[in-house]
Chains A and B, each alone.
Chain A
Amino acid sequence: MEPFSIQQATDAPTAIKAVGAAAGSKFIAGGTNLVDLMKMYVERPAVLVNINGLNLNKIETLTHGGVRIGALVRNSDLAYHPLIEKRYPVLSQALLSGASPQLRNMATTGGNLLQRTRCPYFFDISFPCNKRTPGSGCSAIKGYNRSNAILGGSDHCIATHPSDMCVAMAALDASIRIEGPDGERDIPFTDFHLLPGETPEKETVLKPGELITAVDLPPLSHSARSHYLKVRDRASYEFALASAAVVLNMDNGEIKSGRIALGGVGTKPWRATKAEQLLQGRPSEELYHTVAAAALEGAKAQTYNGFKIELAKRTLIRALTITAGGIA
Chain B
Amino acid sequence: MNELIGKPIDRVDGRLKVTGKAPYSAEFPLKNLAYGVTVQSTIASGRIQSIETHAAESLSGVIAVITYKNSMSLHTLTGGDPGQGKFGERDLLPLQSDRIFYDGQHIAIVVAETFQIAEHGASLIKVEYEEEKPVFIIEDALSDAFQPASALGGGEAQTHRGDADKALETAEAKMEQTYITPVYHHNAMEPHATTAEWTGKKLTLYDSTQSVVGSKNAIAQILGVPPDDVRLYSYFIGGGFGSKGFTWAHSVMAPMAAKHVGRPVKIVLSRQQMFTSNGHRSRTIQKISLGAGKDGQLISVKHLTTSETSFVDEFVETAGAATKMLYDVPNLDATHSIVRLNKGTPCPTRAPGEAPGTYGLEVAMDELAYQLNIDPVQLRLVNYADKHPQTGQPWSEKHLKECYERGAQAIGWAQRNPAVRSMKEGDLLVGYGMATATYPANRSASSAKIQLFPDGHAVIYCATQDIGTGTYTILTQIAADGLGLPMASVQCKLGDSKLPKGPNSGGSQVSASAGGAVWAAALTLKSKAIQLAIADKESPLFGQSEESVQADGGKIFIAGSPEKGETYAQLLTRKGLPTLETEITTNVSTREGAPPAAGGEKKGGDQESSAVKADEGVDHKKYAFHSFGAHFVKVLVDPTLGTVHVDKIVGVMDIGRVLNLKTATNQIMGAMIFGIGMALMEGTIYDPTNGRVVTRDLTDYLVPVNADMPAFDIQFIDIPDPYISPVGARGIGEIGITGITAAIANAIYHATGKRVRDLPITPDKLLS
Contacts and interface: CB of A to CB of B under 8 A. Distances in A.
Interface residues of B, number: 34
Contacts of A124: 692, 694, 696
B680 interface: yes
Contacts of B705: 234-238
Interface in A125-147: 126-127, 139, 142-144, 146
Interface string B139-173: 00000000000000000000000000000000000
B228 interface: no
Interface string B15-52: 00000000000000000000000000010000000000
Interface string A290-327: 00000000000000000100110011011000000000
Given A234-B707, A235-B708, A315-B641, A144 B763 contact: no
Dominant secondary structure at the A interface: loop
Contacts of B199: none
Contacts, number: 85
A236 B706 contact: yes
B2 interface: no
A75 B696 CA distance: 27
Contacts of B685: 144
Contacts of B561: none
Contacts of B130: none
A206 B641 CA distance: 37
Nearest to A100: B705
B44 to A, nearest CB: 11
B641 A311 contact: yes
A142 B764 contact: no
B689 A143 contact: yes
B688 interface: yes
B694 A143 contact: yes
Contacts of A121: 694
B680 A234 contact: yes
Interface stretch (B115-123, B281-289, B362-370): B115-123
A233 interface: yes
B119 A1 contact: yes
Interface in B635-652: 640-643, 645
B687 interface: yes
Contacts of B708: 234-236
Contacts of B707: 234-237
B687 A3 contact: no
B116 A1 contact: yes
B694 A234 contact: no
B687 A143 contact: yes
Interface in B218-276: none
A218 interface: no
Contacts of A234: 680-681, 702, 704-705, 707-708
B694 A144 contact: yes
B640 A314 contact: yes
Interface in B642-676: 642-643, 645
A241 interface: yes
Interface in A73-128: 118, 120-121, 123-124, 126-127
B66 to A, nearest CB: 21
A150 interface: no
Contacts of B767: 307, 310-311, 314
A231 B643 contact: yes
Most chain A CB atoms below 10 A, which of B119, B694, B764: B694
A142 B689 contact: yes
Interface of B: 42, 116, 119-120, 123, 640-643, 645, 680-681, 685-689, 692, 694-697, 699-700, 702, 704-708, 762-764, 767
11 contacts: A1-B116, A118-B700, A120-B695, A123-B696, A124-B696, A233-B702, A234-B708, A236-B706, A237-B707, A238-B702, A317-B640
Given A231-B642, A234-B707, A234-B708, 4 more contacts: A124-B694, A237-B705, A311-B641, A318-B641
